Amino acid sequence: MRRSAGMDGELDLLIDGYLAVLKVERGLGPATVEAYARDLTRFARFWGQEPRPLDALDRPAITDFLSTLTEDGLSARSQARFLSALRGFFKYCVEERHLTRNPCELVGSPRVGRRLPGVLSRDEVLRLVERPDRATPRGVRDAAMLHTMYACGLRVSELVGLTLGDVNLEAGFVQAFGKGRKRRLVPLGAVARERIADYLARQRGAWADAGESALFVTERGGPMTRQGFWKLVVRYARAAGIAQPISPHKLRHSFATHLLRGGADLRAVQTMLGHADIVTTQVYTHVVGDHLQAMHARHHPRG
C-alpha cells in the first residue's frame, strides 16, 4: 500500500507494516485498506508536527487529535471511524512490542449526533484561568497562556507557535497562523495583555535560550509543546474543581460560544477562529440555540 510522499519515521514504517497485515493476513479489500491508510496517515501527520518519540503517545495525544477533527468539521461518526482505525493499529503495535500499551484504551468513542464537546461555563473559565499561582515562575507563564488561549480562541498549535513578533501589546492583538499558514489578527483583551506583559517582564528572559523566538517557553529554554500545554490545562482544571472532561480545544469552543451568546456576529467569530467556511463556525449555533431556548422558556409569558 503506497501512501503519500513526505512521510517517514518509525510511526510511518509501522503503519506500512500494519497495512500489509490488513491486506495479506486479514484479506481486506483494496478500498478498505486504502481507507485505513488515509486515516492513519492523517494521524501520522498530526503526530509528526513535533519531534517526539513513539513511546510518548498517550491518551491526551489521541484526544487532542480527535479535537482537531472536530475543528475541521468532521462528524462524530467520522471521528469514531478514525478512532476505530487507531485502536486496531495500536493494538498491532502492542502485539509487535513497539508499544507497551494501547493509548486508545481509555478514550471513549465520540457520541454520534454531537458535533462539539461541551463548553465551560463563564464561571468555570474564570476559575481555570485564575488558578495558576502568579507568585511562582510557572504560574506567571501558565496564567499568560491560559488567558491568551481563551481571549483569542486560538488552536493549540497556534498558541504554542506564537513568536515574540506575533504579539502587539500596545495595539492589543496577536497575529495567528492557522491552517495553510493563513494569517489573521485577533484582539487580545486587556487582562490577557496584562498577563503576557507580566510574563515577559518577570519570567521569559530567565528561561529562554539565546535566539529563541517562541513567546511561551519552558524551563529548558525551548518552546512549550502541544502536549505540555494539554497537561497543564488538565492539571489546573482539576485544581479548580472542574469535573467535566477538558482539553485545550474546550477553551477555544468556550471562546466562540460565549461570544455568540453575548451577541457577537457569526461572521466576526468566523474571522477570529480562522475558519475558511462559515459552515464550520455554524456548528456553535446549536449550543447557543439551547441557551436561547432555555432563556425563552424561563422568561417568555407563553414559554
Q: Read off the DSSP letter of residue 223.
A: B
- Catalytic residue at 91? no
- Catalytic residue at 252? yes
Q: pLDDT digit string (tens) for 187-234? A: 898 999 999 999 999 999 999 999 999 999 999 999 999 889 999 999
- Catalytic residue at 267? no
Contact call for residues 215 and 203 (beta carbons, < 8 A): no
- Which pLDDT band, with edges at 50, 70 and 90, does 296 fall under? very low
In whole angstroms, what is the distance from residue 53 CA to residue 155 CA? 23
How many Cα atoms are found within 13 Å in the side-chain-facing hemisphere of 138? 12
Contact call for residues 147 and 191 (beta carbons, < 8 A): yes
Across 132-139, average pLDDT: 97
In whole angstroms, what is the distance from residue 249 CA to residue 255 CA? 10
Out of 226, 252, 253, 258, the active site residue is 252
Out of 204, 249, 250, 253, the active site residue is 249
- Which pLDDT band, with edges at 50, 70 and 90, does 3 fall under? very low
- Catalytic residue at 155? yes
Q: Where are the alpha helices (DSSP H) in the chain?
A: 10-24, 30-47, 59-71, 76-95, 122-129, 137-152, 156-160, 190-199, 205-207, 226-239, 248-261, 266-273, 278-281, 285-299
Q: pLDDT digit string (tens) for 39-93? A: 999 999 888 877 778 888 888 888 888 888 877 777 777 888 888 899 899 999 9
In whole angstroms, what is the distance from residue 247 CA to residue 156 CA? 10
Cα distances (Å, whole numbers) of residue 112 to 64, 77, 78, 85, 273: 18, 5, 9, 17, 24
Out of 147, 226, 253, 275, the active site residue is 275
Chain position carrying cell 488561549: 149
Instruction: Show the domains of the chain with their CATH numbers.
Output: 10-95 (1.10.150.130), 122-295 (1.10.443.10)
Contact call for residues 303 and 297 (beta carbons, < 8 A): yes
Out of 134, 147, 155, 195, the active site residue is 155
CA geometry: angle 38, 97, 86, nearest 5 deg: 25
Residues 6+ apart with CB under 8 A from 35: 85
Percent of the chain with pLDDT over 70: 84
In whole angstroms, what is the distance from residue 271 CA to residue 268 CA? 5
Residue type, 235: R
Residue type, 131: R
- Catalytic residue at 182? no
Best mean pLDDT range from 10-14, 36-40, 139-143, 284-288: 139-143
Residues in the chain: 303
